[in-house]
Amino acid sequence: MTQQITLDSVEHAAATPEVVQPYAELGLREEEYLNIREILGRRPTQSELAMYSIMWSEHCSYKSSKVHLRQFAQKQPPSDRLLAGIGENAGVVRVSDTLAVTFKIESHNHPSFVEPHQGAATGVGGIVRDILAMGARPIAVMDPLRFGAPDHPDTRRVVTGVVAGISQYGNSLGLPNIGGEVVFDPCYQGNPLVNALCVGVLPVERLQRKAAAGVGNVVVLLGAKTGRDGIGGVSVLASATFDETSQQRRPSVQVGDPFTEKLLIEACLELYEANLVVGIQDLGGAGLTCALSETAAAAGTGMRIYLERVPLREPSMEPHEILASESQERMLLIVEPDKLETVLEVARKWGVLATALGEVTDTGRLVITWHGQTVVDVPPSSLADDGPVYNRPLQRPSDLALLEADRAETLPRPTTPEELRATVLRMAASPNLADKTWVTEQYDHYVMGNTVLAQPEDAGMLRLEDSGLGIALSCDGNGRYTRLDPYNGARLALAEAYRNVAVTGATPVAVTNCLNFGDPEDPAVMWQFAEAVRGLADGCAELGIPVTGGNVSFYNQTGSVAIHPTPIVGVLGVIDDVRTRVPMGFAESTDGHVVFLLGRTQLELSGGEWAWVTHGHLGGKPPAVDLAHERRLATLLSQARTRRLLSAAHDLSEGGLAQALTESTLRRGVGVRVSVPADLDAFTFLFSESTGRVLVSVPEERVAEFTALCDQHEVPHTRIGVVDASSGALTVEGQFTIPLDELRRAYSGTLPALFSGTTT
Amino acid sequence: MARVVVDVMLKPEILDPQGEAIVNALPRLGVTGVSSVRVGKRIEIEFDGEPDLDQAREIADKLLANPVIEDFTVRVEQEESVQP
pLDDT for A398-444, tens place per residue? 999 999 999 999 999 999 999 999 999 999 999 999 999 999 999 99
pLDDT at residue A236 is higher than 60:
no
Q: What is the mean pLDDT of residues A71-88?
A: 86
Catalytic residue list contains A152: no
For residues A305 and A303, give the distance between their C-alpha atoms in angstroms, rounded to a whole number. 6
Asked if residue A320 lies in contact with residue A235, where contact means CB atoms within 8 angstroms, the answer is no
- Separation in Å, CA of A227 to nearest CA in chain B: 6
pLDDT at residue A595 is higher than 80:
yes
A88 — pLDDT class (breaks 50, 70, 90): confident
Which residues does chain B have within 8 Å of residue A231's beta carbon, measured at their own beta carbons? Answer: 13
- Separation in Å, CA of B83 to nearest CA in chain A: 35
- Separation in Å, CA of B14 to nearest CA in chain A: 6
pLDDT for position B74: 95
pLDDT at residue A221 is higher than 90:
yes
**Cα distance between the two ends of chain A:** 55
Which residues does chain B have within 8 Å of residue A224's beta carbon, measured at their own beta carbons? Answer: 15
Do the strands A302-306 and A366-370 form a parallel or antiparallel pair, or are they unpaired? parallel
Cα-based distances in Å from A592 to A126, A529, A724? 48, 48, 6
Which residues does chain B have within 8 Å of residue A256's beta carbon, measured at their own beta carbons? Answer: 15
Residue spans of alpha helices (H) in A504-599: 523-543
Q: What is the mean pLDDT of residues A653-679?
A: 97
Return the closest-CA partner of residue A227 out of B9, B15, B23, B20: B15
CA dihedral A85, A86, A87, A90 (to 10 degrees): 60
pLDDT at residue A34 is higher than 50:
yes
- Residue B24 buriedness (CB in 10 A; 0-12 / 13-18 / 19+): exposed
pLDDT for position B1: 61
Asked if residue A480 lies in contact with residue A185, where contact means CB atoms within 8 angstroms, the answer is yes
A618 — pLDDT class (breaks 50, 70, 90): very high
> Coil, strand, or helix at residue A110?
helix
H/E stretch holding A368: strand A366-370
- Separation in Å, CA of B74 to nearest CA in chain A: 21
Pick left, alpha or beta for residue A263 (phi over 0 → left; psi -120 to 50 → alpha; otherwise beta).
Answer: alpha
Which residues does chain A have within 8 Å of residue B16's beta carbon, measured at their own beta carbons? Answer: 255
Return the closest-CA partner of residue A664 out of A593, A606, A602, A607: A593
Residue spans of alpha helices (H) in A89-136: 109-114, 116-133
pLDDT for position B79: 59
Nearest CB to A252: which of B13, B20, B67?
A: B13
Nearest CA in chain A to B70: A252
For residues A585 and A144, give the distance between their C-alpha atoms in angstroms, rounded to a whole number. 22
CA dihedral A444, A445, A447, A453 (to 10 degrees): 180
A242 — pLDDT class (breaks 50, 70, 90): very low
Catalytic residue list contains A59: yes
Cα torsion angle, A37, A41, A44, A49, sign: negative
pLDDT for position A315: 87
CATH number at residue B29: 3.30.1280.10
Return the closest-CA partner of residue A267 out of A355, A350, A354: A350
Residues 216-235 of A with CB under 8 A from B: 224, 227-229, 231
Q: What is the mean pLDDT of residues A73-101?
A: 89
Q: Say yes or no for a CB contact (<8 Å) between A115 and B66.
A: yes
Q: What is the mean pLDDT of residues A658-680?
A: 97
Backbone phi and psi for residue A86, each to the nearest 5 degrees, phi listed first: -60, 135
Do the strands B41-46 and B70-76 form a parallel or antiparallel pair, or are they unpaired? unpaired
Q: What is the pLDDT of residues A512-555, one digit of tens each?
A: 999 999 999 999 999 999 999 999 999 999 999 999 999 999 99
A47 contacts chain B (CB < 8 A): no
Q: What is the mean pLDDT of residues A686-702?
A: 97
pLDDT for position A241: 42
Nearest CA in chain A to B38: A313
Whole-complex ipTM: 0.77
Nearest CB to B67: which of A250, A259, A314?
A: A250
Residue of A160, A252, A348 best to disrupt the B interface, most CBs of B under 10 A: A252
Which residues does chain A have within 8 Å of residue B13's beta carbon, measured at their own beta carbons? Answer: 227-229, 231, 252, 314
Nearest CB to B15: which of A115, A250, A327?
A: A327
For residues A296 and A84, give the distance between their C-alpha atoms in angstroms, rounded to a whole number. 19
Q: Say yes or no for a CB contact (<8 Å) between A229 and B12.
A: no
For residues A200 and A185, give the distance between their C-alpha atoms in angstroms, rounded to a whole number. 32
**Alpha carbon A187 to chain centroid distance?**
19
For residues A95 and A574, give the distance between their C-alpha atoms in angstroms, rounded to a whole number. 7
B10 contacts chain A (CB < 8 A): yes
Counting every residue, how long is chain B? 84
pLDDT for position A532: 98
Cα-based distances in Å from A27 to A48, A53, A239, A562? 14, 7, 7, 20
Greatest pairwise CA separation for chain A in angstroms: 93
Q: Say yes or no for a CB contact (<8 Å) between B68 and A229.
A: no
Residues 239-258 of A with CB under 8 A from B: 250, 252-257
- Least confident range from A4-8, A161-165, A210-214: namely A4-8
Q: Say yes or no for a CB contact (<8 Å) between A257 and B68.
A: no
A20 — pLDDT class (breaks 50, 70, 90): confident
Nearest CB to B15: which of A115, A313, A351?
A: A313
A246 — pLDDT class (breaks 50, 70, 90): very low
Residue spans of alpha helices (H) in B1-76: 17-25, 53-59
Positions of chain B with pLDDT under 50: 82-84
The count of structural domains within chain B is 1
For residues A206 and A429, give the distance between their C-alpha atoms in angstroms, rounded to a whole number. 48
Asked if residue A322 lies in contact with residue A307, where contact means CB atoms within 8 angstroms, the answer is yes
Give me the domain span that covers residue B62: 3-82
- Residue A405 buriedness (CB in 10 A; 0-12 / 13-18 / 19+): exposed
DSSP structure class, residue A236: I
pLDDT for position A1: 36
Choosing from A108, A117, A564, A713, the catalytic residue is A108
Q: Could you tell me what percent of chain A has a pLDDT over 70?
A: 96
pLDDT for position A21: 87
Do the strands A561-562 and A729-732 form a parallel or antiparallel pair, or are they unpaired? unpaired
> Coil, strand, or helix at residue B10?
strand
Q: Say yes or no for a CB contact (<8 Å) between A114 and B67.
A: no
H/E stretch holding A682: helix A682-687
Residues 17-36 of B with CB under 8 A from A: 17, 20-21, 24
pTM: 0.93
Which residues does chain B have within 8 Å of residue A252's beta carbon, measured at their own beta carbons? Answer: 11, 13-14
For residues B54 and B39, give the distance between their C-alpha atoms in angstroms, rounded to a whole number. 25
pLDDT for position A84: 83
A27 — pLDDT class (breaks 50, 70, 90): confident
Q: What is the mean pLDDT of residues A443-452?
A: 94
pLDDT at residue A234 is higher than 60:
no
CB atoms within 10 A of CB A88: 21
- Give A362-366's long-range contacts (Cβ < 8 A, gap of 24+): A362/A215, A362/A301, A362/A302, A363/A302, A363/A304, A364/A300, A364/A301, A364/A302, A365/A302, A365/A303, A366/A292, A366/A293, A366/A296, A366/A302, A366/A303, A366/A305
Backbone phi and psi for residue A524, each to the nearest 5 degrees, phi listed first: -70, -40
> Coil, strand, or helix at residue A353?
coil
A208-217, A236-245, A455-464, B9-18, range with greatest mean pLDDT:
A455-464
Question: What would the 3-class secondary structure string for A602-661 be?
Answer: CCCCCCCHHHHHHHCCCCCCCCCCCHHHHHHHHHHHHHHHHCCCCCEEEECCCCHHHHHH
Which residues does chain B have within 8 Å of residue A328's beta carbon, measured at their own beta carbons? Answer: 15
pLDDT for position A247: 36
Question: Is the peptide bond between A176 and the residue preceding it cis, with omega within 30 degrees of 0?
Answer: no
For residues A404 and A406, give the distance between their C-alpha atoms in angstroms, rounded to a whole number. 5
Q: Say yes or no for a CB contact (<8 Å) between B14 and A260.
A: no
DSSP structure class, residue A344: H
Q: What is the pLDDT of residues A725-743, one digit of tens each?
A: 999 999 999 999 999 999 9
CA angle A386, A388, A393 (to 5 degrees): 145
pLDDT for position B82: 47
Asked if residue A83 lies in contact with residue A127, where contact means CB atoms within 8 angstroms, the answer is no
pLDDT for position A250: 41
Nearest CB to B15: which of A114, A250, A255?
A: A255
